[in-house]
Chain A
Amino acid sequence: MNRTYTASSRTQLLLMLTPYLLGAAVLVGLPALLSLLLAFLRYDGISAPVWVGGFNFQLVLANPVDLLFPISLYNTLYFVILAVPVRVLSALALALLLSRSGRGVGLYRAAVYLPTIIPDVAYALIWMWIFNPLYGPLNLILDGLGLPTPGWLADAQYAKVVFVVMAAFQIGEGFVVLLAGLQNIPPEYYAAAAVDGGNVWQQFRYITLPLLAPWLLLLTLRDIILSSQNIFTANFIMTNGDPYYSTLFLPLLIYEEAFDRMHFGPGSAMTVLLGLVTAALIGLILSIVGSWGETDAS
């Protein structure tokens, strides 16, 4: 494509990429390496660091007394397993519903996107109020309908569910991606299917779904990795891990370990473990999108 560019142009191109590449190296690459190093140190940020080998990993993974890492890992997985399917499926359902054009559709789409733009701290406060066990609108409605009113954030059994519900309302990004994906399916496909007498379900099953599949997969994988990271602010504002560690998610534990207790070693060890899980997933994604550059020769 750029074979006609001169050498000076190529320098220009490189310069254009510099901030991005440099930023990625300094803000992501270097810290990632540093984390790896910190994981093998005892370091409190004040006294000099001491090399402790694998001690931090032992502390985090095989501690008979302090089970907070396994607990938070369990909580995080619980959240991911519930929240991700709910998020992806509702984004898909809403995209299918609102993919047509027509009067009012723009407003409906805007409404669906709206919760996504609410800043995290405000969003957390809103849901704390909605789920307030005595005065919150949700329980008042449930009570009015004669339904049971759980203690939500005050009850270890329900506290995690609150975070799932919150996450299920912030699906704007996935919704828009799938909407765009749907609109890129050539209408002729459906016309052909209609001639063949396929019903709505068959159209969905044999045309829409296969063509959306790469997007769905990508969204799912991205959500698996990021949705549990993104609840940090809500986690910090709403429960701080209570009641009794039932909402202690990994980011909060890492934050407390490093920034509150000033245990940078174990904090980094947790980070590295998190990174390993993530790396496996990234590998999977890469093998899927590796072909991108080739397929769209537009």
Chain B
Amino acid sequence: MQVNSKRRIFHAIAFHAVSILISALFILPLVWMASASLRQPGLPPPRTMEWWPEPLAWSNYNRIFEMLPLGRYIFNSLLVAGIAVPITLVTASLAGFAMTQLNRRGRESLLGLSVVLLVVPTVAVWVARFILFRTLGLFNSYAALLAPALMGSSPLFVLLFFWSFRRIPRELYDAARMDGAGPLEIWWRVALPLSGATVIVVGILTFLLYWGDFTTPLFYLKSQTLYTLPVGLRQLQELDRTNWPLLLAGAMVMTLPSVLLFGIVQRFFLPENRLAGIYGQ
């Protein structure tokens, strides 16, 4: 007994030591970003490891907002993400729900389709999509950026909703149907209210997708007044390619909202034992 508990304590210590080390490794890039963003620009950076610069150059953050209309870009990014999230939630959950209600053949072929869509490289449709969007007159408008939201932004989101709706006991659906509810009503009254975690996870993932999207605005946006933050960050880089403090201050501005959002809702992402995970079958 004595030996056993000692062993258990040793195991716990070892586990936490390893885990902390690994966690530190994964957080390190962010720490380095933060510290470098506060370094005085212009000086040759020090030659030895310096964890926290002295003095802290908070003015870097003012400077980047003077160099470019980053405020405008942030607003634009929030606007795009803000429109994309509700549309995606509706379209992805509708499709996911409909898939649960189809007969087996229909369900299987749609599952197959979703998996195929999941692995189609976006690169493979870049060129043709560009020509297509031009023909549709979507060039230089947010419609080009938001178009994927129509199909639920990513097949993964449709699948997440499908899996989530499938876990809801079938009796609940049947009961609603007995009451004369159509699929739309069941989706709204039964399926969605019972899938809060999935709604949150898909919502966050969608936000991250559009907030960080660089290639679509790179291809389609001409007017500077429409630019989103990732394009702004690229502009910042092109203004002075090796001005690291300013570049990393820009990276901080871009990253902070994602991290904050993730911090608030991370428990929905990471399956605790009971929750069994959004990603679980």
Indicate if A touches B (C-beta under 8 A). yes
Q: Which residues of A contact B (CB under 8 A)?
A: 1-6, 8-9, 12-14, 16-17, 19-24, 26-28, 30-35, 38, 45, 94, 97-98, 100-101, 104-115, 117-122, 125-130, 132, 134-135, 137, 140-141, 144, 169, 176-177, 179-181, 183-184, 221-222, 225-226, 229, 232-233, 236-237, 250-251, 254-255, 258-259, 264, 267-268, 271, 274-275, 278, 281-282, 285-286, 289-290, 292-294, 296, 298
> Can you give 9 A-B contacts (C-beta < 8 A)?
A16-B187, A35-B127, A114-B259, A141-B49, A144-B49, A177-B279, A184-B277, A258-B130, A274-B124
Are the C-beta atoms of A180 and B126 separated by less than 8 Å? no
Residues on A with beta carbons closer than 8 Å to the beta carbon of B271: 176, 179-180, 183
Contact flag A106-B267 (CB < 8 Å), given A5-B101, A169-B26, A293-B111: yes
User: Shortest Cβ distance from A193 into chain B, in angstroms?
Assistant: 19
Q: Tell me whether A125 and B281 are in contact (CB under 8 A).
A: no
Type the 1/0 row for B249-281, where 1 means its CB is closer than 8 Å to any CB of A: 011101100110011001101111100111111
* Distance (whole angstroms) from the CB of A83 to the closest CB of chain B: 15
A50 to chain B, nearest CB (A): 15
Q: Which of A32, A237, A275 contacts B234 (CB 8 A)?
A: A237
Give the docked Cα–Cα distance between A251 and B125 (Å).
11
Is there contact, CB below 8 Å, between B23 and A108?
yes
Which of A20, A125, A285 is within 8 Å of B91, CB to CB?
Answer: A20
* Residue numbers in B under 8 Å from A128 (CB-CB): 247
Q: A122-B251, A125-B251 are in contact. Are A114 and B19 (CB under 8 A)?
A: no
Bound Cα distance from A4 to B180, whole angstroms: 11
Q: Which one of B97, B107, B254 lies within 8 Å of A16 (CB-CB)? A: B97
Q: In the bound complex, do residue B184 and residue A237 qualify as a contact, i.e. CB atoms below 8 Å apart? A: no
B contact residues, total (Cβ < 8 Å):
108
What CA separation (Å) do A271 and B24 show in the bound complex?
40
- The complex places the Cα of A20 from the Cα of B117 at a distance, in Å, of 11
B124 touches A278 (CB 8 A): yes
Q: Indicate if the CB atoms of A125 and B19 lie closer than 8 Å.
A: no
Q: Does B13 contact A (CB under 8 A)?
A: no
Q: Which residues of B contact A (CB under 8 A)?
A: 15-16, 18-20, 22-24, 26-27, 29-30, 32-33, 36, 44-49, 91-92, 94-95, 97-104, 107-108, 110-113, 115-132, 147-148, 150-152, 155, 158, 166-167, 170, 174, 177, 182-184, 187, 208, 211-212, 214-215, 219, 230, 233-234, 237, 244, 247-248, 250-252, 254-255, 258-259, 262-263, 266-267, 269-273, 276-281
Q: How far is the CA of A285 from the CA of B48 in the complex (A)?
A: 49
The residue on B at minimum CB distance from A218 is B115
Q: How far is the CB of A125 from chain B (nearest CB, A)?
A: 4
Cα A105 to Cα B258 in complex, Å, equals: 21
Q: B16 contacts which of A45, A94, A104, A229 (Cβ < 8 Å)? A: A104
A-B contacts counted at CB < 8 A amount to 320
Q: Give the residue among A115, A119, A293 with the most B Cβ atoms within 10 A.
A: A119
* Contact A35 to B124, CB < 8 A, known contacts A20-B94, A286-B116: yes
Q: Which one, A126, A134, A177, A268, contacts B248 given CB within 8 A?
A: A126
In the complex, which residues of chain B have a beta carbon less than 8 angstroms from the beta carbon of A23? 91, 147-148, 150-152
Partner of A31, one of B36, B92, B125, B281: B125
Given the complex of chains A and B, what is the CA–CA distance between A274 and B128 in angstroms?
Answer: 14
What chain B residues lie within 8 Å of A135 (beta carbons)? Answer: 44-46, 244
Q: How far is the CA of A274 from the CA of B233 in the complex (A)?
A: 30
Contact A184/B230 with A27-B125, A126-B248 known, Cβ cut-off 8 Å? no
Residue among B23, B102, B158, B258 making CB contact with A107, cutoff 8 Å: B23
Partner of B254 from A8, A122, A278 at Cβ < 8 Å: A122
For the complex, what is the distance from the CA of A38 to the CA of B111, rounded to whole Å? 30
* Additional pairs, 13, CB under 8 Å, beyond known A23-B152, A179-B271: A4-B177, A19-B94, A22-B151, A106-B267, A108-B22, A111-B26, A113-B269, A119-B214, A120-B212, A135-B244, A271-B123, A293-B104, A294-B104
Cβ-defined contact, B94 with A16, below 8 A: yes
**By the criterion CB–CB under 8 Å, are B32 and A16 in contact?**
no
